[in-house]
Chains A and B, each alone.
Chain A
Amino acid sequence: MSSEPRAVVTDSGIPLDPVYDAASVAADLAGRLGRPGEPPFTRGPYRTMYRERLWSMRQYAGYGSADDTNARFRYLLDQGQTALSVAFDLPTQLGYDSDDELVLSEVGRVGVAIDSVEDMEAVFAGLPIDQLSVNFTINGTAPIILAFYLVAAERQGADMAQVAGTLQNDILKEFLARKTFIFPPDHSIRLVADVVEYCSEHLPRFNGISITGYHAREAGCDAIQEIGLTMASAIAYTEAFLARGLEFDAFAPRLSFHFSSQLDLFEEASKVRAARRMWSSLALERFGAQKETSARLRFFSGCSGATLTAQQPLNNVVRSTLQCLAAVLGGAQSIHVMGYDEALEIPTEESVRLALRTQQIIAHESGVAKVIDPLAGSYFVEHLTDEIEARAWELVRRVEEGGGLVELLAQGVPQRWVAESAYRYEQEVRSGERVKVGVNKYVDDDGVAPPLFEVDAASAARQRERLAARLAGRDGAAVAAALATLRTALVDGTNSMPHIMQAGRVGATLGEIADTMREVFGVYREPQPW
């Protein structure tokens, strides 16, 4: 046992000096920073940033039936939320209808149940799709959800050129961390490309993919791994889209990114500055971007559920505030703040309102949004930004030497990095080396239990009844014909999106479309973790 004091490190383990000065910052700082809205975009993707437009306050929501979710959306918009983010239940995420026998009490449990286009129409009833910006957290069934949304938009008479939003559609991080994959990787990536190609041709304001480090971070990796793995994903997707024959500048400006925001304030803010610089370098130098907007990384910041504690849950309000602040200092384009009760249940209306108010107080009272990239030029922050970037590039290099992210995922390698990192974190909490207030220090069992959200148990039954009525009322021959046409497209490699939309129009369900895909592509089982 050494009696030496432990090194002081960031959350991801970067050693820290007691104080930083001019010598800590690399030469050519001005060149490494650029100006906001210009390469290398370290200071932000837009010239005016929050001066012109605040970030989108986008609380993730959805539960029960389409009507329940529609009511929550109307509530959030009434409260001043400026964009929507849809949570789907697990059967919808995994391609099962609400009446599937594999489904437990999961219908409407962690998000809204979508079986058909009519459910999607009900989610957006009275909400004009071409005036909204909507984020869809959907991956394995992303093409089906987008198709249903577009058919719902058609039926509202929406102008497709105005349909705005983001489809998560990042299947690689499902294999890595989030685990709602359905099909094997090659077929999955082909479906991602179908969507991105379709969006680049038909939906000028819609982001067809959000390349996501968030879930790997939530599953346990650190900030450096989060950025490195996200860049490795961006490379893998770009190569797949180029191989498909898409032009880089046709899709790159609509690539969106998604990061976590955790508690080490300066590391979190520095991390996204480093990420912007890395993508700019990849786009301009490696992929030969001709458009500057192809090199501009825009991101959605999700605050962290994994850092919240079940003990003394009100402390989570403070944690979420710090995380939101880090996202703002890092220049996020949209932000979700967690409800303080999310270590225990999906959030109540009251805790969602408080999360939204947290964003509004930071936006309007704290003053931090008044000046663009206010941390720039800090000896410490610039040093940390450079250090994170260097370490993340090193990880990208390791992934490429291992054959690229798709190959390593098939071997289960990055999954193990994430799990080992999660275990290390727990051991640090266990030993007290990592302080969690209310968990391993300042423990106090007298905390008041918050009121918890209760899912309406009858809602799943109503959803099944609604599905049964739709199945009874549709033209079965038209559905069979549309699914047969879709199957042909899946086999011969033509873009599946128009065929999925057609199947949706005639009443095919999400489960039927996913089953057609399962028949053609097969299903994927992941490698053992140890």
Chain B
Amino acid sequence: MSTGVRPRPRVVLAKPGLDGHDRGVKVVGMALRDAGAEVVYLGLQQTAAQIARAAAAEDADVIGLSVLSGVHVDAARQVLAACAGEDLGDVPLVVGGTIPPADVTRLRDLGVRDVFPVGTPLDDLVARIFAIAAEEEVSDEQ
């Protein structure tokens, strides 16, 4: 059911777990929005099931998690599993936050498409999310 290239990528952002540090996710949301993305921010304390359901309902091109409490590996694993359960296994997941270098590899090994540790330049982050969304468009049409 290809309808051609969608003009604006749809990005669903969420904070899984109990962490309340939302400065980063809001800045990222505003930057993506200003760059032309449609951003749906689900808010705090989202369970993996809630995130997967919302991603399906919103027809997300990319799902982004923000975690600053150190539980990014657990959170990513749970969201990936929940997405597979919602038959959303191919929607790319990206994760940002306080992520030590060793965990970048661990997250990628789990199947996280891209990782944005604290210190990632904002322009770089926006460009990478747009690139991932564009790849999805191409693969959806094939």
Whether A455 and B70, one on each chain, are in contact in the complex, defined by CB atoms closer than 8 angstroms, is yes
Whether B70 and A110, one on each chain, are in contact in the complex, defined by CB atoms closer than 8 angstroms, is yes
Provide a sorted-by-A list of 5 A–B residue pairs whose CB atoms are within 8 angstroms. Answer: A90-B69, A104-B16, A310-B119, A343-B118, A529-B26
Whether A530 and B29, one on each chain, are in contact in the complex, defined by CB atoms closer than 8 angstroms, is yes
Whether A422 and B41, one on each chain, are in contact in the complex, defined by CB atoms closer than 8 angstroms, is no
Tell me which residues from 422 to 476 in chain A have a Cβ below 8 Å from any Cβ of chain B.
Answer: 422-423, 426, 429-430, 439, 449, 452, 455
Asked if B122 is at the interface of the complex by the 8 Å CB criterion, the answer is yes
| Chain A residue contacts of B29, Cβ below 8 A | 529-530
Contact with A along B34-65 (1 / 0, CB 8 A): 00000001011001000000000000000000
Bound complex: CA A276 to CA B123 (Å): 40
Main secondary structure on A side of the interface with B: loop
Bound complex: CA A528 to CA B17 (Å): 18
| Chain B residue contacts of A339, Cβ below 8 A | none
| Chain A residue contacts of B75, Cβ below 8 A | 104
Q: How many Å from the CB of B51 to the closest CB on chain A?
A: 13
Contact with B along A95-110 (1 / 0, CB 8 A): 0100000111110011
Q: How many Å from the CB of A156 to the closest CB on chain B?
A: 31
Asked if A61 is at the interface of the complex by the 8 Å CB criterion, the answer is no
Whether B69 and A218, one on each chain, are in contact in the complex, defined by CB atoms closer than 8 angstroms, is no
| Chain B residue contacts of A225, Cβ below 8 A | none
Asked if A306 is at the interface of the complex by the 8 Å CB criterion, the answer is yes
Q: How many Å from the CB of A139 to the closest CB on chain B?
A: 10
* Number of residues of chain A lying within 8 A (CB) of chain B: 42
Tell me which residues from 28 to 53 in chain A have a Cβ below 8 Å from any Cβ of chain B.
Answer: none
Q: Contacts A90-B19, A104-B78; is A343 near B26 (CB within 8 Å)?
A: no
Bound complex: CA A105 to CA B118 (Å): 20
Contact surface of B with A, Cβ cutoff 8 Å: 16-23, 26-27, 29-31, 33, 41, 43-44, 47, 69-71, 73-75, 78, 98, 100-101, 117-119, 121-123
The list of the 4 closest CB pairs from A to B, nearest first, reads: A179-B20, A310-B119, A90-B18, A105-B74
| Chain A residue contacts of B101, Cβ below 8 A | 449
Bound complex: CA A326 to CA B22 (Å): 27
Whether A344 and B98, one on each chain, are in contact in the complex, defined by CB atoms closer than 8 angstroms, is yes
Bound complex: CA A93 to CA B44 (Å): 14
Bound complex: CA A30 to CA B4 (Å): 72
| Chain B residue contacts of A179, Cβ below 8 A | 20-22, 44
| Chain A residue contacts of B47, Cβ below 8 A | 102
Whether B20 and A306, one on each chain, are in contact in the complex, defined by CB atoms closer than 8 angstroms, is no
Asked if A178 is at the interface of the complex by the 8 Å CB criterion, the answer is yes
Asked if A419 is at the interface of the complex by the 8 Å CB criterion, the answer is yes
Whether B31 and A426, one on each chain, are in contact in the complex, defined by CB atoms closer than 8 angstroms, is yes
Whether A104 and B98, one on each chain, are in contact in the complex, defined by CB atoms closer than 8 angstroms, is no
Whether A422 and B23, one on each chain, are in contact in the complex, defined by CB atoms closer than 8 angstroms, is yes
Asked if A334 is at the interface of the complex by the 8 Å CB criterion, the answer is no
Bound complex: CA A94 to CA B17 (Å): 11
Q: Contacts A105-B71, A105-B74, A344-B100; is A430 near B122 (CB within 8 Å)?
A: yes
Q: How many Å from the CB of A525 to the closest CB on chain B?
A: 7
Whether A180 and B20, one on each chain, are in contact in the complex, defined by CB atoms closer than 8 angstroms, is yes
Number of A-B contacts (CB under 8 A): 97
Q: How many Å from the CB of A91 to the closest CB on chain B?
A: 7
Asked if A127 is at the interface of the complex by the 8 Å CB criterion, the answer is no
| Chain A residue contacts of B100, Cβ below 8 A | 344-345, 452
Q: Contacts A343-B119, A345-B100, A430-B122; is A109 near B69 (CB within 8 Å)?
A: yes
Bound complex: CA A343 to CA B118 (Å): 7
Asked if A160 is at the interface of the complex by the 8 Å CB criterion, the answer is no
Q: How many Å from the CB of B105 to the closest CB on chain A?
A: 14
Q: Which of B26, B69, B78, B118 contacts A106 (CB 8 A)?
A: B69
Q: Contacts A426-B122, A526-B43, A526-B44; is A346 near B20 (CB within 8 Å)?
A: no
Asked if A261 is at the interface of the complex by the 8 Å CB criterion, the answer is no
Residue of B nearest to A178 (CB): B20
Contact with B along A80-124 (1 / 0, CB 8 A): 000000000011011010000011111001100000000000000
Q: How many Å from the CB of B70 to the closest CB on chain A?
A: 5
Whether B44 and A109, one on each chain, are in contact in the complex, defined by CB atoms closer than 8 angstroms, is no
Q: How many Å from the CB of A186 to the closest CB on chain B?
A: 20
Whether B20 and A345, one on each chain, are in contact in the complex, defined by CB atoms closer than 8 angstroms, is no
Asked if A311 is at the interface of the complex by the 8 Å CB criterion, the answer is yes
Asked if A220 is at the interface of the complex by the 8 Å CB criterion, the answer is yes
| Chain B residue contacts of A306, Cβ below 8 A | 23
Q: Contacts A109-B70, A309-B119; is A525 near B43 (CB within 8 Å)?
A: yes
Bound complex: CA A341 to CA B89 (Å): 35
Contact with B along A152-178 (1 / 0, CB 8 A): 000000000000000000000010001
Bound complex: CA A174 to CA B123 (Å): 30
Bound complex: CA A109 to CA B74 (Å): 12
Whether B41 and A104, one on each chain, are in contact in the complex, defined by CB atoms closer than 8 angstroms, is no
Whether B23 and A220, one on each chain, are in contact in the complex, defined by CB atoms closer than 8 angstroms, is yes
Q: How many Å from the CB of A452 to the closest CB on chain B?
A: 5
Residue of A nearest to B73 (CB): A105
Residue of B nearest to A344 (CB): B100
Tell me which residues from 200 to 257 in chain A have a Cβ below 8 Å from any Cβ of chain B.
Answer: 218-220
| Chain B residue contacts of A93, Cβ below 8 A | 18
Bound complex: CA A96 to CA B18 (Å): 10
Whether B18 and A94, one on each chain, are in contact in the complex, defined by CB atoms closer than 8 angstroms, is yes
Whether A218 and B23, one on each chain, are in contact in the complex, defined by CB atoms closer than 8 angstroms, is yes
| Chain A residue contacts of B27, Cβ below 8 A | 220, 419, 422-423, 426
Tell me which residues from 401 to 423 in chain A have a Cβ below 8 Å from any Cβ of chain B.
Answer: 419, 422-423
Residue of B nearest to A92 (CB): B18
Q: Which of A109, A174, A180 has the most CB of B within 10 A?
A: A109
| Chain A residue contacts of B123, Cβ below 8 A | 430
Q: How many Å from the CB of A123 to the closest CB on chain B?
A: 20
Bound complex: CA A526 to CA B43 (Å): 8
| Chain A residue contacts of B117, Cβ below 8 A | 310
Whether B70 and A345, one on each chain, are in contact in the complex, defined by CB atoms closer than 8 angstroms, is yes
Whether B18 and A91, one on each chain, are in contact in the complex, defined by CB atoms closer than 8 angstroms, is yes
| Chain A residue contacts of B21, Cβ below 8 A | 179, 219
Q: Which of A106, A422, A439 contacts B17 (CB 8 A)?
A: A106
Q: How many Å from the CB of A378 to the closest CB on chain B?
A: 33
Whether B43 and A528, one on each chain, are in contact in the complex, defined by CB atoms closer than 8 angstroms, is yes
Bound complex: CA A430 to CA B122 (Å): 7
